[in-house]
Amino acid sequence: QVQLIESGGGLVQAGGSLRLSCAASGRTLMYYRMYWFRQAPGEERKFVSSINWNGDSTSYEDSVKGRFTISRDNARNTVYLQMNSLEPEDTAVYYCAARIRARGFSSTTGDMDYWGKGTLVTVSV
């Protein structure tokens, strides 16, 4: 079992940058593929990015490709999402999630095994 806590959200101007962190306690993160999802008001929770157990495979939703970078530091039990060139459309609650490594890749919300409580990112014009 792993507990996930997101941090780093806040208010930023369009074109600016933020780095989100997901700190884990419990089992080491090397046993999980890690994900970021986001949910805007009135919308469903959607996939943003994922990274495999050792960081050699990443995936991104089309709208964030070239702007967001996911990374992980298993020694610190932390996953990061570097967000550059932020747009108002990026405003959402961002959630960290974990999927058991042995289950392979999935980018759907129902296939996640653990969720954090989220951190709010607001991008102003």
Q: What is the pLDDT of residues 41-50, one digit of tens each?
A: 999 999 999 9
Of 121, 116, 123, 105, nearest in space to 9 by CA: 121
Q: What is the pLDDT of residues 72-111, one digit of tens each?
A: 998 899 999 999 999 999 999 999 999 998 998 899 999 9
Band of residue 26 on the pLDDT scale cut at 50, 70, 90: confident
For residue 27, pLDDT over 90 is answered with no
Q: What does the pLDDT read at residue 87?
A: 97
Q: What does the pLDDT read at residue 105?
A: 85
Helix (H, G, I), strand (E, B) or coil at 115: strand
CA-to-CA distance for 105 and 97, rounded, in angstroms?
A: 13
Dihedral sign of CA atoms 114, 91, 20, 52 in order = positive
